[in-house]
A and B are shown apart, each in its own frame.
Chain A
Amino acid sequence: MNFDQARRLAREQGDASELLALVPYAAYLGLRMEMGADGTALLRLPFKPSLIGNPRKPALHGGVVAAFMEGAALLHLLLVLDERRVPKSIDFSIDYLRSAQAQDTLASCAVERLGRRVAQVQIRCWQAEPQKPVALARAHFLLASDE
């Protein structure tokens, strides 16, 4: 299945499984997309013990939180834009606000600037309480259609 077909399935039937399957590392981490009524998605990283970085707290690996947020931004772009290839990462910057506990993690993304060549995405990540983010991040992507 190509990106156009997978995107159509996600947009029209709320089934993002094929879109996720096109990004092996997102599938490996276990990412899920929960489709909203407005056509955007909430990204979920279900907890599993292999994601732990500090077993004594226990806390998720900081790299996992970052990887989840980068993956979330990529999938968000694949869902809301009509790209036929995966946008290329230019840079990524994350602020860690709280330690991520051993539980499900959620992320929402917003494209704050969409140019012809570059998209800027803000990513917010939280766990049990949406008003207490565990991390905030931003990323720039080079859009594949105009390489």
Chain B
Amino acid sequence: MPETAAVQKLIDHFHHDIPHARELGMEVISASAERTEVRLPFRPEFLGDTERQLIHPGVVTTLIDSTCGVGLMARLGRPVTIATLDLRVDYLRPSRPGIGLICSAECYRLTGQIAFMRASVWQDDPATPVAASVSTFMLNSGGPQIGRPPEGAP
């Protein structure tokens, strides 16, 4: 399968087969072996602090975990079962009201079993991120493979 077709399949999988990503409204902007970006449009339900109109930190973390997951699969070029081992987020500056988030993730070290990811979250300008993150994933963590069965599969 050409790389673009494989990546498109991953993007389709992300948009259709992950209920919570769909529920929040995440959209993959771009995905490649080098870098993956996911957008999360703003919704009032995402607020953690109504007085200052700040997005809840949990929304940011969920976006980061999701982007790293699809980013790792884009790096591998196929959907694999992965498990997050750990994830750290630094909240660098408050989010601004009414604006969605964009997360960019990259895999900076990949071994046979472990992937090391880093990610950044911003609103308008990547140079002023609202959050930065590092995380570690385990590959082929057991359990059924994710993704839709191939067409015509029993």
Contact = CB atoms under 8 A, between A and B. Distances in A.
A52 B66 CA distance: 12
Given A55-B17, A62-B65, A25 B87 contact: no
B61 A67 contact: yes
Interface string B35-46: 000000000111
Nearest to A86: B49
A64 to B, nearest CB: 6
Interface string A12-47: 000000000011111111000000000000000000
Contacts of B140: none
B18 A61 contact: yes
Interface string A83-104: 0011011111111100100000
B19 A25 contact: no
Contacts of B48: 23-26, 71, 74, 86
Contacts of B89: 91-93
B116 interface: no
B144 interface: yes
B20 A53 contact: yes
B143 A99 contact: yes
Interface in B47-64: 47-52, 54-59, 61-64
